[in-house]
């Protein structure tokens, strides 16, 4: 029984880690953002998000999301945060 619980927890941990890694790939971005953090727009329009916490306040794993003009999810991020080239702003979770 104990070994089964340990194995179950290990599998769940791996699924959570792989899910988070998937969430941090900008090319697979969904229209919602489950994190809070800081957003920056470079002069070429590239948006960089630095997640700080999840929507429920837990610390986010270290990672950076980068959206280039034309990437899937770019327009959603730009619209929700309201960035212009040179801006740096905090962002909050949102759902479309």
Question: What is the pLDDT at residue 35?
Answer: 86
Confidence of residue 91 (pLDDT cuts 50, 70, 90): very high
Element (H, E) at 8: helix 2-23
* pLDDT at residue 17 tops 70: no
The percentage of the chain sitting over the pLDDT mark of 70, rounded to a whole number, equals: 67
């Amino acid at each position: 029984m104990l070994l089964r619980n340990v194995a179950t927890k290990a599998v769940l941990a791996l699924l959570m880690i792989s899910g988070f890694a998937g969430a941090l790939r900008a090319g697979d971005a969904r229209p919602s953002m489950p994190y809070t953090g800081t957003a920056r727009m470079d002069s070429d329009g590239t948006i960089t998000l630095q997640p700080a916490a999840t929507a429920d306040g837990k610390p986010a794993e270290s990672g950076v999301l980068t959206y280039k003009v034309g990437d899937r999810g770019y327009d959603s991020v730009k619209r929700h945060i309201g960035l212009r080239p040179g801006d740096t702003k905090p962002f909050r979770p949102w759902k479309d």
